[in-house]
Amino acid sequence: MSLALVNCSVIPCDGSPAIDDAVVVLDGNRIEAVDTRAALEPLLRERADNLTQHDLGGRWVMPGLMDMHVHLSLALPGPAQLASRLETDMAVTVRAYRNALDGLNAGVTFMRTLGDMRFVDLELKRAINAGVIVGPRLFCAGQAVIITGGHGFGSGSSLEADGPDGFRQAVRKQLRAGADVIKVAITGGIAGEYEQIRDSQATYAEMEAACQAAHNAGRRITAHAGSALAIAEGIRAGLDCVEHGYFLDQPTVDTMANKGVYLVPTLSVSRGEEYMRRIGCPQWMIDKSLRAGEDHLRSYQMALAAGVPMAMGTDMLPADPYDGTLAVYREVEWMVEGGMPHAAALRAATLSAAELCQVDADLGSVTPGKLADLVAMPANPLENIRALRGIDTVMKDGAIVRDGCY
């Protein structure tokens, strides 16, 4: 029996217009055809005996969301980080898995993990891919590579290293564990008590060694980065992508646009006061975060105007309660509120993310031949981005994970 999704509108997210009164025909875990009901009626009739029609009740269908900045074992400074110090391996695994599953149910069918404890992201990826447990597709960095005392030290999700040889070896340890992408921290950040966001951390030689080790293995490399100075150096050293980009300037965004270096802006991290208070983050962290907010938004807008390729990332748990909704929906809304057109924001959360991870041949749009990772919601997110909050139906790999239609 194959499956056809009927009575829906489709937003393909590949640049083509939305299709009203659409049908999506699946062949196993892949999309076989997407078109109007009228165009596909002959196919539906021909297959009538071995095709189940799933009525989506007029919902809007788009590709599954892809969150480019997740820490499945996230434990921010405050009670969460203190508690995490006493966790056993099993406890970390259960917590990280729960976070992955909650994200999937919220419609995030793909997560790029950028620093997790004890390689829990890679272990979960193996179990999910083997069909042992249900979960989102994971694209993993393992541990973040940082300088001694650098951004994220003490979080349990990073590996300290120094000098080009140290960085090269630390990257190779991630590759040995099966990393799909490499993450380094090259400046300070919000969640570090003894550092400023602008502080340069990794040296040029360290960044260059890390980039070379990643590229030699055919992996892309991204950096947690705050200042324009460090980002410009990092790009010269070979970075493919930049996380946050709190303090960008015009020459740097121009270089990013020219070289096709991605920005994952993670706008939520500098505007989530209620979230940080609720989870008990220390006051110094809240102050630092909110102080960066204005520059962060300005940097994002500068990058947007310059045409820097962008993908959506929360740097939170995608399904974390945030600002009256979930972090992943709010992040897309922040991108729109900052000036990105609706269609571009949906693309940043799907096809652009797939391109960043070089999995766009299989994922990121509702296109015949691609894997059937889809979400559906009652309202049209091209008209009102808040429609994403209504996602109630999730399909991954051709299987319905959550069904809001009953």
Nearer Cβ to Zn ion, position 116 or 355?
A: 116
d(CA 267, CA 269): 6
d(CA 7, CA 293): 42
The answer to whether 344 and 385 are in contact (CB under 8 A) is no
Provide the 8-state DSSP code for 187: B
Token pair of 245 as six digits: 């980009």
Contact flag: residue 315 with Zn ion (CB under 5 A)? yes
**Interface mask toward Zn ion for 185-224; x: CB under 5 A:** ----------------------------------------
Token pair of 88 as six digits: 């056993």
Count residues near Zn ion (CB under 5 A): 1
Least Å from the CB of residue 320 to Zn ion: 13
Nearer Cβ to Zn ion, position 315 or 360?
A: 315
Contact flag: residue 355 with Zn ion (CB under 5 A)? no
The answer to whether 328 and 345 are in contact (CB under 8 A) is no
Nearer Cβ to Zn ion, position 59 or 151?
A: 151
Report the phi/psi class of residue 270: left, alpha or beta, with left for phi > 0 and alpha for psi in -120 to 50: alpha
Nearer Cβ to Zn ion, position 315 or 373?
A: 315
Least Å from the CB of residue 252 to Zn ion: 20
Nearer Cβ to Zn ion, position 315 or 331?
A: 315
Nearer Cβ to Zn ion, position 5 or 327?
A: 327
Contact flag: residue 116 with Zn ion (CB under 5 A)? no
Residue ranges in 130-282 assigned as alpha helix (H): 163-177, 204-216, 228-237, 250-259, 273-278
Nearest residue to Zn ion, using CB? 315
Nearer Cβ to Zn ion, position 137 or 183?
A: 183
Least Å from the CB of residue 137 to Zn ion: 19
CA 42 vs CA 5, 10, 46: distances in Å: 15, 19, 6
Strands of the sheet with 241-247, listed across from one edge: 158-160, 144-146, 181-185, 220-227, 241-247, 262-264
**Interface mask toward Zn ion for 271-310; x: CB under 5 A:** ----------------------------------------
The answer to whether 168 and 208 are in contact (CB under 8 A) is no
Least Å from the CB of residue 225 to Zn ion: 11
Task: Select from 6-14, 53-61, 168-176, 312-320 the region that touches Zn ion (CB under 5 A).
Answer: 312-320
Nearer Cβ to Zn ion, position 243 or 373?
A: 243
Least Å from the CB of residue 315 to Zn ion: 4
Give the alpha-carbon dihedral of 355, 359, 362, 364, to 10 degrees: -40
Least Å from the CB of residue 304 to Zn ion: 21
Least Å from the CB of residue 233 to Zn ion: 20
d(CA 199, CA 221): 20
Q: Which residues bind Zn ion (CB under 5 A)?
A: 315
